Amino acid sequence: MREAIRLSLREMRRNAGGPFGAVVVRNGRVIGRGWNCVTTTNDPTAHAEIMALRDACRRLKTFSLEGCELYTSCEPCPMCLAAIYWARVARVYFGNTRRDAARIGFDDDHLYREVARPRAQRRLPMRQLLREEALAAFTEWEHKPDKVIY
């Protein structure tokens, strides 16, 4: 956890992004590091947790981080939390809460509330189009003999 906090402070002080850091650990060893790079990369997905997951997966040459743990300086936002689940991380440790983040202008808590609403009640309008055409890819995937399951 101290390494995640150290990264959050170091990179924030370098103006590399917001005050967030994260590390992926496997068998007691750090295998991935990340810090918030949203403003320096012009990438809204470049959160500390995402960057740490990407680093760990690149180093291990796999998309699965089963058996790994994530240490992050702040409770993950919904995007990061989803990515952590997709990566199959075994456990997450965090420092600050999403409410702590909201108090300094990072309103992740708003996103948690928004995602929990029924689709029709969300602020972001969503409308389904061309489902039958889109299903073609799913049907083909379902019968694809050489697919890589993830």
> From CA 102, how far away is CA 108, in angstroms rounded?
7
Q: Are 101 and 74 in contact (CB under 8 A)?
A: yes
Locus of tokens 């409410």: 99
Closest CA to 53 of 41, 76, 39, 44: 76
- Can 49 be counted among the known catalytic residues? yes
**Catalytic-labelled residue, pool 3, 49, 66, 114:** 49
b/e per residue, 33-49, with b = 16+ CB within 10 A?
bbbbbbeeeeeeebbbb
Catalytic residue numbers read 49
